[in-house]
């Protein structure tokens, strides 16, 4: 019976997306949703989005999960902005071109280690009701944003020929909000119901989903219940300090699903694809996170999802990107690399190769999309000879194909475990291996033993080797197996056709048994690619694991509105080995055209349909090695050599010199006029965290539209001469700082703290003593505070935690009172900020920012020549701007990741790094850990002049000496091409 004839469930709004207890059925075809998280706002160059999508597709994934950011799209009341990097249509177009589905996650709350969890900053101060509930003013606040998402998305649903298949509520298919509890707060369930009603009263018809932050069974039934329930899981947590030490693998996922929503497919909307890193000198950095969640973690934990019979899963993150400007919440720094498979600078990591090996297996294995969970070795349903090994048995109820997923019983074990496995096959119960001695798990490793496995029209009785690829190429059934070269592996295949070649040698043993199957033993020491069997009807290949990871299987586009989508527009693919990345392949007449990237010269290996006369790489014909090709395959094989152009050796970046300097803290100079600043005279606030002391005035930045980055406060008082000190309680979030002056005398700096998410200090309460001679009795005196807002809190013990009281929570002279307070943040606040391209999160309130010194084209010719390493003049506390320009001339046809790198010394300064007007980094030198700041092409002009501005805040009366240099992080011949820069320059309009 075909899936179209089965009893399927849908949401009553469309039958294009349906489901049963196994998986999604899309356009009457069963799919395994294998997805990676990608936030376009963390890569603010839309012409680079196809690069990530092509890399996702090349890894065998068929979907991305995408958060949209309320605070960026709806920066102020009644303003909706889908321009530039906030746009959705370019993403939808690029996804359809790549053949990648989209699970859209518009929130409104998204968490995502972003300020206020994505809630628009204006909402945190203008809404009196509790956030993330059905409070009437909060409901009114998200209407424009959600209806904007609906309008942008409706025509891009799969029902309209688009890529969006699901919508996510509360983080995530369309997903609703994010990681929320159904009855945790009054009105929370009603909030979901209100969101659902808005979607149901619109032209959105795709299913709505939800991700539960824990095993709470939220929104499965009752008020606000969604179409598809999902569970988040981050089993290794978020401390990468000991990356070799694993937490145990949860073993109850299958049981939890069966007891929670057994009639729905098992969905993991967020599964750990890395980890975020925190502030502090002991923070381990993202490379440690990439080890903690590395290829061995993917091998064990991702396959454990399969073993729980999960068929819908998304890895958070597949590409993390950059939390530039004011995007981060206060717990994380600028980089959002996340230790993911694709690094922040868009390069591929070792994790990517394992992700690809798994992805290509899943794409090849349609029988795996529908399986019954039979049992495991702890229940006796599977017999394993060694209790140190653990196995789960899944079976396709229609075809009988079996999948035995094996790992160490102790998932953290690094031991070598050998065992035999009893499997059920069409030939009866067999003990594997049949000819060899053992199946081996080398430490943290998981494997899938397949039985009665289909490839093309052929069937493999069993294999202890892993399947990389199974399908049809040029009319022949093709199977590509792999395994570690230090282990033995075995497969039993019914060979067919007229044989042309059969492997032989000391590392391969082939023997026929009394069945029609042939048993192939792959012995330790086998490295590289081997043609096992080549006939008129079949091609069987084997490689070691590393070599298998260097292969790609690009999809050849078909026809129809889903021509680039596997299963829906095409079932044609080829095999390509060698290059750093294969982005695309097309066949036109006798020519196979490959597009991709090279990191170095490589041997090109191709398995394609017969009859091709030419293979091109990025448009250039490749000379064939006919003899090598004939040893690879009798037909359709191609071997050639790809080399890097000599141009690559001459790609360089300049040193950063010829810096110009200007003071950026005139506010401490006597006579500075702040009459145009905002008068801070509010006596009430919607922020539910009252001041600790003072005179009742509210000094919270968000109450005056200044939520982002640096905010300056000026408190005036008429001195009598008796004043000796001022007490200030300042809230800026983790790792913040606030420097305080009285008139032009530096008093001290209050430091927030975080040491790898420990010893957290979000606010300070300090007494600042006035030095002799600092006051002017009988005259106006000014307390000036330069305060950094590190981002608003995410939801904590209450949804209103995002209404963070960033600013001054207490102010008191030891005697006397303040006459007035003035406040200044970025120009225009969140309603009238002038830079509509870079948006509301880009700038802060420093004088230089308000003047536009960070923007390309600002005239610095009259500034003082001063090198950045000299720091501020006289070695005093303060703020200064250093600006220089440099030229790049990087040739077309290359992808060259570039980063800005500060020295790694510990000094009391903070730096705000602007590149062509974009705030691309915040360096906190007294805490760390980040010193390297990747900046993408498109922000950088690779064929012209670039402006770099460094706002240097020295936080003590001592000399600081930052250094900064450009580095090339890799040279890749190829790239996605067509990168567009959009870096508006300086204009005096609206600057103050």
Please write the tens of the pLDDT for every residue from 317-338. Answer: 999 999 999 999 999 999 999 9
CATH number at residue 414: 2.102.20.10
Question: Cα(864)–Cα(559) distance, rounded to whole angstroms?
Answer: 63
Average pLDDT over residues 357-375: 98
Whole-number Å distance between alpha carbons of 928 and 103: 35
Structure tokens at 557: 């586009």
| 975: in domain | yes
Q: How confident is the model at residue 72 (pLDDT cuts 50, 70, 90)?
A: very high
* Radius of gyration from C-alpha coordinates of the chain: 30
Which CATH number characterizes residue 730's domain?
Answer: 2.60.120.260
Can you list the alpha helix ranges (DSSP code H) found in 319-364?
A: 350-364
pLDDT on residue 188:
86
Backbone angles phi, psi at 524, to 5 degrees: -55, 145
Q: In which band, very low, low, confident or very high, does the pLDDT at 27 lie, cut at 50, 70 and 90?
A: very high
Rounded Cα distance, 56 and 97, in Å: 13
Residues 866 and 957 in one domain: yes
In this prediction, residue 4 has a pLDDT band, given cuts at 50, 70 and 90, of very low
Is the residue at 303 inside a domain?
A: yes
Angle at alpha carbon of residue 328, lines to 322 and 331, rounded to 5°: 120
Inform me whether the pLDDT recorded for 730 exceeds 50.
yes
- Band (pLDDT 50/70/90 cuts) for residue 80 is very high
Please check whether residue 21 lies inside any domain of the structure: no
Residue 728 predicted with pLDDT over 70: yes
DSSP secondary structure letter of residue 264: S
Distance of CA 590 to the CA centre of its chain: 39
Residues 641 and 562 in one domain: yes
- Do residues 901 and 933 lie in contact, with contact meaning Cβ atoms separated by under 8 Å? yes
pTM: 0.97
pLDDT in tens, 29-71: 999 999 999 999 999 999 999 999 999 999 999 999 999 999 9
Strand partners, 489: 522
Q: Do the domain assignments include residue 353? A: no
- Which of 595, 624, 648 is the last residue before a domain boundary? 648
168 confidence band (pLDDT: 50, 70, 90): low
Q: Tens digits of per-residue pLDDT, 806-850? A: 999 999 999 999 999 999 999 999 999 999 999 999 999 999 999
Q: Do residues 55 and 133 share a domain?
A: yes
| Residue 232: inside a domain | yes
Tell me, yes or no, if 762 is annotated catalytic: no
Q: Is 477 contained in some domain?
A: yes
Residue 334 and residue 394 in one domain: no
Same domain, 342 and 424: no
Based on the domain organization, do 386 and 312 belong to the same domain?
A: no
Q: Are residues 639 and 657 in the same domain?
A: no
The three-state secondary structure class of 324 is coil
Average the pLDDT over each of 183-197, 235-249, 764-778, 804-818 and give the range with the smallest value.
183-197
pLDDT at residue 169 greater than cutoff 70? no
Q: Burial level of 442, CB count in 10 A (0-12/13-18/19+)?
A: middle
The C-alpha atoms of residue 614 and residue 624 are separated, in whole angstroms, by 9
Phi, psi (rounded to 5 degrees) for 980 = -105, 130
Give the mean model confidence (pLDDT) for residues 910-931: 97
Decide: helix, strand or coil at residue 659: coil
Residue whose token pair is 């990025």? 618
User: Is residue 766, in this structure, part of any structural domain at all?
Assistant: yes
Both tokens of 364, joined, read: 């090849």
Confidence band, pLDDT 50/70/90 cuts, at residue 758: confident
Task: Decide if 811 contacts 818 (C-beta within 8 A).
Answer: yes
The pLDDT of residue 756 = 67
C-alpha span between 660 and 910 (Å, rounded): 18
Rounded mean pLDDT, 133-149:
97
Among the listed residues 689, 782, 776, the one whose alpha carbon sits nearest the alpha carbon of residue 729: 689
- Asked if 897 and 925 sit in the same domain, the reply is yes
Considering the domain architecture, whether residues 776 and 857 belong to the same structural domain is answered as no
**Separation CA 731–CA 714 (nearest Å):** 16
- Looking at 315, 348, 381, the residue that finishes a domain is 348
61-65, 158-162, 179-183, 336-340: range with lowest mean pLDDT: 179-183
The Cα-based distances of 684 to 25, 60, 919 in angstroms read 53, 55, 33
Choose the catalytic residue: 113, 152, 179, 973: 179
High-pLDDT (> 70) share of the chain, %: 97
Cα separation, 195 vs 139, in Å, equals 9
Beta strands in 825-925 (DSSP E): 864-865, 878-889, 894-895, 898-902, 909-915, 918-924
The verdict on 402 and 333 lying in the same domain is: no
pLDDT of residue 872: 98
What are the pLDDT digits (tens) for 511-564? 886 668 999 999 999 999 999 999 999 999 999 999 999 999 999 999 999 999
The one catalytic residue in 37, 113, 196, 270 is: 270
Task: Give the CATH number of the domain where residue 261 resides.
Answer: 3.20.20.80
Residues 554 and 613 in one domain: yes
Is 298 part of the annotated catalytic residue set?
no
Write down the pLDDT at residue 6. Answer: 63
Q: What is the mean pLDDT of the chain?
A: 95
Predicted local confidence at residue 1, as pLDDT: 41
> Is residue 9 a part of any domain in this protein?
no
Q: Are 713 and 825 in contact (CB under 8 A)?
A: no
Q: What is the pLDDT of residues 938-964, one digit of tens each?
A: 999 999 999 999 999 999 999 999 999
Task: Note down the domain range covering 729.
Answer: 683-824
Closest CA to 807 of 818, 795, 823: 823
The encoded tokens of residue 883 equal 């600006």
pLDDT of res. 753? 87
Measured over the CA atoms of residue 691, residue 697, residue 702 and residue 708, the dihedral's sign is: negative
Number of domains in the chain: 4
**Domain boundary residue among 792, 824, 856?**
824
Is 196 in the same domain as 137?
Answer: yes
DSSP state of 249: P
Residue 89 parent element (H or E): helix 89-98
For the record, the structure tokens of 616 come out as 């091109």
Q: What's residue 754's pLDDT?
A: 77
pLDDT band at 681 (very low <50, low <70, confident <90, very high): very high
| CB 381, CB 933: distance < 8 Å | no
Average pLDDT over residues 722-743: 97
């Amino acid at each position: 019976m075909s899936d179209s004839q089965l009893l399927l469930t849908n949401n009553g709004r469309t039958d294009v997306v349906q489901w049963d207890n196994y998986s999604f059925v899309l356009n009457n075809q069963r799919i395994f949703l294998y997805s990676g998280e990608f936030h376009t706002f963390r890569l603010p160059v839309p012409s680079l989005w196809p690069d990530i999508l092509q890399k996702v597709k090349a890894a065998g994934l068929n979907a991305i999960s995408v958060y949209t950011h309320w605070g960026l799209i709806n920066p102020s009341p009644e303003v909706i902005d889908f321009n530039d990097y906030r746009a959705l249509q370019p993403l939808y177009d690029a996804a359809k071109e790549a053949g990648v589905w989209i699970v859209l996650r518009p929130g409104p709350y998204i968490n995502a280690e972003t300020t206020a969890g994505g809630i628009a900053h204006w909402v945190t101060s203008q809404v009196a009701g509790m956030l993330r509930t059905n409070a009437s003013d909060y409901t009114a606040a998200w209407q424009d944003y959600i209806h904007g998402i609906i309008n942008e998305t409706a025509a891009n649903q799969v029902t309209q020929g688009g890529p969006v298949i699901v919508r996510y509520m509360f983080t995530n298919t369309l997903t609703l909000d994010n990681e929320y509890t159904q009855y945790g707060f009054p009105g929370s369930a009603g909030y979901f119901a209100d969101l659902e009603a808005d979607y149901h009263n619109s032209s959105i018809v795709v299913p709505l989903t939800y991700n539960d932050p824990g095993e709470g069974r939220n929104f499965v039934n009752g008020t606000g219940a969604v179409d598809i329930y999902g569970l988040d899981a981050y089993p290794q947590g978020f401390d990468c300090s000991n990356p070799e030490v694993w937490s145990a693998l949860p073993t109850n996922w299958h049981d939890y699903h069966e007891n929670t929503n057994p009639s729905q497919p098992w969905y993991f909307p967020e599964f750990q694809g890395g980890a975020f890193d925190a502030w502090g000198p002991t923070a381990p950095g993202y490379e440690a996170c990439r080890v903690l969640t590395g290829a061995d973690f993917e091998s064990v934990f991702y396959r454990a999802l399969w073993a729980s019979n999960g068929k819908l899963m998304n890895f958070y993150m597949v590409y993390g990107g950059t939390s530039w400007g004011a995007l981060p919440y206060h717990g994380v720094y600028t980089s959002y690399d996340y230790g993911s498979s694709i690094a922040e600078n868009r390069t591929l990591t070792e994790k990517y190769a394992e992700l690809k090996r798994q992805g290509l297996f899943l794409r090849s294995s349609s029988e795996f999309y529908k399986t019954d969970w039979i049992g495991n070795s702890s229940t006796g349903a599977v017999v394993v000879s060694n209790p140190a090994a653990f196995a789960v048995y899944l079976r396709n109820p229609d075809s009988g194909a079996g999948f035995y997923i094996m790992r160490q019983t102790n998932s953290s074990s690094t031991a070598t475990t050998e065992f035999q496995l009893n499997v059920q096959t069409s030939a009866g119960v067999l003990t594997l291996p049949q000819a060899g001695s053992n199946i081996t798990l080398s430490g943290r490793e998981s494997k899938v033993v397949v039985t009665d496995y289909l490839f093309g029209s052929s069937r493999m009785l069993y294999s202890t080797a892993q399947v990389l690829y199974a399908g049809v190429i040029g009319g022949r059934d093709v199977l590509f197996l792999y395994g570690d070269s230090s282990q033995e592996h075995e497969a039993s295949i019914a060979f067919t056709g007229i044989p042309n070649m059969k492997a032989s040698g000391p590392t391969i043993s082939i023997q026929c048994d009394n069945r029609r199957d042939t048993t192939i033993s792959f012995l330790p020491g086998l490295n590289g690619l081997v043609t096992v069997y080549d006939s008129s009807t079949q091609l069987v290949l084997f490689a070691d694991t590393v070599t298998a990871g260097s292969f790609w299987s690009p999809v050849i586009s078909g026809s129809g509105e889903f021509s680039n989508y596997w299963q829906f527009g095409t079932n044609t693919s080829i095999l390509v080995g060698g290059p750093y990345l294969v982005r695309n392949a097309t066949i036109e007449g006798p020519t196979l055209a490959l597009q991709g990237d090279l990191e170095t010269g490589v041997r090109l290996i191709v398995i394609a349909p017969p009859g091709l006369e030419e293979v091109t790489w990025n448009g250039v014909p490749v000379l064939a090695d006919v003899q090598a090709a004939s040893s690879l395959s009798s037909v359709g094989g191609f071997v050639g050599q790809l080399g890097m152009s000599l141009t690559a050796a001459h790609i360089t970046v300049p040193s950063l010199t010829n810096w110009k300097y200007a003071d950026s803290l005139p506010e401490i100079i006597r006579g500075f006029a702040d009459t145009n600043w905002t008068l801070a005279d509010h006596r009430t606030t919607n922020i539910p965290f009252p001041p600790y002391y003072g005179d009742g005035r509210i000094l919270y930045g968000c109450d005056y539209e200044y939520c982002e980055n640096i905010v300056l406060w000026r408190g005036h008082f008429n001195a009598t001469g008796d004043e000796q000190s001022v007490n200030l309680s300042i809230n800026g979030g983790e790792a913040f700082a606030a420097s305080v002056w009285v008139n032009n005398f530096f008093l001290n700096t209050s430091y927030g703290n975080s040491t790898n998410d420990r010893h957290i200090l979000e606010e300070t309460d300090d007494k600042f003593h006035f030095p002799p001679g600092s006051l002017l009795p009988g005259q106006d005196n000014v307390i000036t505070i330069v305060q950094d807002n590190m981002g608003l809190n995410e939801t904590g013990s209450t949804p209103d935690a995002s209404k963070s009281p960033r600013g001054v929570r207490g102010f008191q002279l030891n005697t006397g009172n303040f006459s007035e307070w003035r406040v200044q943040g970025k120009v225009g606040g969140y309603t009238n900020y002038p830079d509509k391209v870079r948006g509301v999160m880009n700038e802060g309130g420093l004088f230089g920012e308000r003047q536009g010194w960070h923007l390309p084209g600002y005239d610095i010719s009259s500034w003082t020549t001063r090198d950045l390493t000299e720091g501020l003049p006289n070695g005093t506390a303060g703020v200064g701007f250093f600006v220089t320009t440099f030229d790049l001339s990087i040739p077309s046809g290359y992808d060259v990741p570039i980063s800005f790198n500060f020295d790694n010394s510990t000094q009391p300064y903070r730096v705000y790094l602007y590149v062509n007007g974009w705030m691309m980094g915040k360096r906190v030198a007294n805490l760390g850990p980040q010193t390297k700041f990747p900046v993408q092409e498109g922000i950088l002009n690779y064929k012209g002049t670039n402006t770099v501005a460094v706002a240097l805040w020295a936080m003590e009366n001592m000399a600081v000496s930052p250094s900064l240099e450009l580095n090339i992080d890799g040279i890749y011949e190829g790239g996605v091409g067509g990168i567009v820069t959009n870096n508006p320059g300086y204009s005096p309009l609206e600057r103050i």
